[in-house]
Every structure is written in C-alpha cells, then in structure tokens.
Amino acid sequence: MAGIDLKKTYREHYTAKATPSIVDPPKRPFLMIDGQGDPNTAPEYIDAIEALYPIAYGLRAAIKDATGDAYTVMPLEGLWWVADMADLDPADKSNWLWTAMICLPDAVTDTMGREVIAAVTDKKALISGSKARIEVFAEGPAAQILHIGPYSDEGPNIEKLHRFIDDNGHSLAGKHHEIYLSDPRRSDPAKLRTIIRQPFTDT
C-alpha cells in the first residue's frame, strides 16, 4: 500500500506567497456542494461542510480499497460570487453564492462517487449529502496571494490581487476562489492561512 500526500503532489497549486503570483492549475476532480449566504451565519453552509468531510473520507476509503493507495484528504476550498462581481463585498456576504469543495485524486470515478455519496449520506444522516456531486473543475489562468489572519480582514489582499491583475494587462474573470489551509476550529484567527485566487482573462 502506498501513501500519497496530495498536498505535496499538488504543491505548486496549494502554496502561495504574500505577494501575488500567477498559476494555471490543470483540470482535477472535486467533491462539491453549492449554496448561498454568509458562511458565518448561513445554516446551509454549515450543513455543506458537515457533509463534505465525511463523504471525502468515504471516497478516500473507497479509493484505497480499489487501488491500495491511501492519500491525504485535501483542504476545504470555496468559490464565491454574486450576480455582478463588481458588487462582491467582503464585508457583506449575505448575498454571496458559493461552492464548497474538496479536491480529489484522479482515481475517483463517477460510479464510485455516486455510491459513496449515497452510502455516507444515508449512514451519517447528512442534511446536505444529497446535494454533493463530483465535478471536474479548472478555472484557467489565475493570480493568487497568501492571506494570513481572519477572513474578515481579506479586503486589502483582495484589492492587491485585483490591482496586480489589472497592472499586468488582464481583466477579472470567473469566481473568487479561496483555499483554506488552516482549520478555523483549531487555529488562532490571527494565524489562519488562506490562499486567495482570482481567475483572469486577457483584456
């Protein structure tokens, strides 16, 4: 049995610096649940997170049984957007739409996904388990920056990232993307590490 550390395998796209840089992650399968509302107050978001992790670990067990390979479950990620991205206000997330998601290894299959999602949802009585799906996702070229501190303090780094994209002759495209490298339940808010990523297109 091999142990695979996906954080190291995908290291280029799951590390960032305090200064903006450009990445172009390839298509990869993700476990996803969609919803709407402020993650700090919306029960729908809490239900989604409480469903994603048990299903992710269920998929890990299924892949281990099928291939003999164990792997690390990847960190939680989020896509965030509003109808008009110019109105994306980090201080008011009440109208934000979101996709909560976890990256999966290529060994996952559609059949495996359907079976595991159904089985874990039933066994754990997951409120949002039926909303889960596996989808191949790639956002294309994007700029990213590492934010250290509370999520509520992301504003200046988001502005820095957008300015970097504009200064390099590109335009914002796609959805605001965050990768949560720290567990907020166990980390000091001042030490939370979050990769903030923004896709772009040529102007």
Per-domain residue ranges of the chain: 2-202
Report the interhelical angle of 110-124 vs 43-67 (nearest 10°). Answer: 120
In the numeric block, the tokens 């359907």 are attached to 114
Q: Which residues contact 199 (CB under 8 A, 6 or more apart)?
A: 139, 140, 141, 142, 172, 173, 174, 175, 177
Give the pLDDT score at 122. 98
* pLDDT, tens digit only, all 203 positions of the chain: 467 888 888 999 999 999 999 999 999 999 999 999 988 889 999 999 999 999 999 999 999 999 888 899 999 999 999 877 667 777 778 888 999 999 999 999 999 999 999 999 999 999 999 999 999 999 999 999 999 999 989 989 999 999 999 999 999 999 999 999 998 778 888 999 999 999 999 86
Q: How far apart are CA 133 and CA 114, in angstroms?
A: 8
Helices (H) and strands (E) in the chain, counts: 4, 11
Give the pLDDT score at 21. 97
Q: How far apart are CA 193 and CA 174, in angstroms?
A: 23
* CB contact burial 99-137 (16+ within 10 A = b; e otherwise): bbbbbbbebbeeebbeebbeebbeeeebebbebbbbeeb
Closest among 102, 99, 98 to 58, alpha carbons compared = 102
At 182, list the tokens.
């720290």
The fold adopted by the segment(s) 2-202 is: Multidrug-efflux Transporter 1 Regulator Bmrr; Chain A (3.20.80)
Give the pLDDT score at 84. 75
